[in-house]
Amino acid sequence: MPPSPSQPPRGPNRRRWLRDNAWRLGTLGAGSLGWALPAQAQDDPTGGDPLGSMQWPVVRRKFMGTEAAEFSPQVLIKGPPFAEDAMNVPVLLDARALVQAGHTIDRIVVVADRNPVQHVLTFEPRQALPVLAFRFRLEQGSPLRALVRTQDGRWHVGQTWVNAAGGGCTVPGATRADGSWSQTLNQVQARFFRNVLEGSGTRLRVRVMHPMDTGLVAGIPAFHIEELELRDSADRLWWRLELHEPVSENPLITFELGRTPPGTMVLQGRDNNGNRIHHEVAA
């Protein structure tokens, strides 16, 4: 009796059957995640990734679970073709095209496939625009992704490739090396700028002094900012940011608010040792 289409045969043909039917069993995850992949991509161990990353199937399961997702030109993420300083790689992400298409953004997750710590940050725009500029550490050349979840439960993925000489996550930062970090820990510089995005809107640039240790340098445990958020005088949340170890030392982050916030704004947060961050900035 021939084997059931859902049951692998015994004997020498078993391995071939498992390989040819991996997509049915969910081992590649494409069908179970709702990806609309062509037939040839179902047999692709990269899960149809445009950048051909072998890590991508694991990344998508880890960060998006079983929710529907698609690669989208409406999500832009940009970095340098080659990172001359792997400890300070500049990144710009922009998902305004999704908003213009009628979507409401829940959160944006930035990941680097080949980093020892893949999760770079999570951004909840709330009343801000879904635009963010920052710097991060890159251990080796890697795909860099912006995973954007909209409130309808779908994920929209943008990606780019950044090459690097390597070692960005396994070298101590300058303030850790010279010991000056303790004198400036969690000091904040913040400033609003007007009319900088397409002739209108308000930009907020924030710098928080922190060593942002990855925990991958011998003798130095992980020590990094975990959360930042911006609230107005009525305690309304404008944006929230969850940071992880790969974010560069003394994070410099730029937000686009789209409109001028009312009155004095409060920037607050904490690091993974419980040290508090609090700063008021006049709009």
Which pLDDT value is given to residue 232? 94
Which pLDDT value is given to residue 260? 84
Which pLDDT value is given to residue 77? 98
The verdict on residue 19 lying in a domain is no
For 71-97, how does the pLDDT look when each residue is reduced to its tens digit (9 = 90+)? 999 999 999 999 999 999 999 999 999
Which of 244, 274, 48 shows the shortest CA–CA distance to 157?
A: 48
The verdict on residue 37 lying in a domain is no
Q: Which long-range contacts (CB under 8 A, 24 or more apart) does 163-166 make?
A: 163/81, 163/82, 163/83, 164/82, 164/83, 164/86, 164/89, 164/138, 164/139, 164/140, 165/83, 165/86, 166/86, 166/138, 166/139, 166/140, 166/141
Which residues, given as ranges, of the chain have pLDDT below 70?
1-42, 195, 197-199
Which pLDDT value is given to residue 129? 95
Name the residue range of residue 67's domain.
49-282
Which pLDDT value is given to residue 24? 39
Angle at 120 between CA 117 and CA 121, to 5 degrees: 140
Residue 72 identity: S
Which pLDDT value is given to residue 198? 62
CB 237 within 8 Å of CB 249: no
Q: How far apart are CA 204 and CA 228, in angstroms?
A: 13
For residue 101, count CB atoms less than 10 angstroms from its CB and return exposed for 0-12, middle for 13-18, buried for 19 or more.
Answer: exposed
The verdict on residue 264 lying in a domain is yes
The verdict on residue 31 lying in a domain is no
CATH number at residue 270: 2.60.40.2470
The verdict on residue 273 lying in a domain is yes
For 215-250, how does the pLDDT look when each residue is reduced to its tens digit (9 = 90+)? 999 999 999 999 999 999 999 999 999 999 999 999
Which pLDDT value is given to residue 201? 82
The verdict on residue 241 lying in a domain is yes
The verdict on residue 263 lying in a domain is yes
Which pLDDT value is given to residue 32? 37
Q: How far apart are CA 121 and CA 112, in angstroms?
A: 10
- Domain tally, the chain: 1
Which pLDDT value is given to residue 18? 44
The verdict on residue 75 lying in a domain is yes
Which pLDDT value is given to residue 216? 96
